[in-house]
Amino acid sequence: MPQGDDIAGGGSPETVDAAAIYEFNRGETPRTQTSVDAAKQSASMEIWGRSPQGGNVPTVQAYRETKRPLQGRGVKFDSNVPPTPGTGTPFEARWRLGSPGVFSPASGFAAISITRFLNLQP
């Protein structure tokens, strides 16, 4: 069932304000952030990730909205789980499996729970 590098499992969505400021985003891509992935993320309130290219630890990746705002289609979200210290860049956040709040919903995946979600990939 997993598709692309990043998907989501099952859960319950929360109503969100489209004008709100979100902390993280992921732009639509044909491989790692499809419309199907966005629908799964909305339903589950989880963001999943595999090991990044050249890496060996499953990791959820997203851009920091304040540093690289979403342009066009994609998703915006907030999480109570802080990014893993010492990973990512000023523009990118990473949550590595083994860090507090990061769990493995399936073999080869890391995931975080999200508190707010805005799907801009209808």
Asked if residue 8 is part of any domain, the answer here is no
pLDDT for 6: 43
Residue 18 has a pLDDT of 58
Assigned domain for 68 exists: yes
For residue 15, the one-letter residue type is: T
What is the distance between the alpha carbons of residues 48 and 57, in angstroms, rounded to a whole number? 13
pLDDT for the residue 15: 47
Range of the domain at 87: 24-119
Report residue 86's pLDDT band, with 50, 70 and 90 as the boundaries.
very high
Place of tokens 């990973």: 87
**pLDDT score at 8:** 44
The domain total for the chain is 1
State the DSSP H helix or E strand holding residue 42, giving kind and residue range, or none if neither: helix 35-44
**Calpha distance 109→29 (Å, rounded):** 19
Q: In this predicted structure, what is the pLDDT of residue 122?
A: 78
Give a yes or no: residue 93 inside a domain: yes
* Residue 98, pLDDT score: 97
- Rounded to whole angstroms, how far apart are CA atoms 74 and 68? 13
Q: Is the model's pTM score more than 0.85?
A: no
pLDDT band at 7 (very low <50, low <70, confident <90, very high): very low
Report pLDDT for 13.
43
Name the pLDDT band for 21 (thresholds 50, 70, 90).
confident
Separation between Cα atoms, residue 95 and residue 98, nearest integer Å: 9
| Alpha carbon distance, N-terminus to C-terminus of the chain | 21
Q: CB within 8 A of 16, min separation 6: which ones?
A: 116, 117, 118
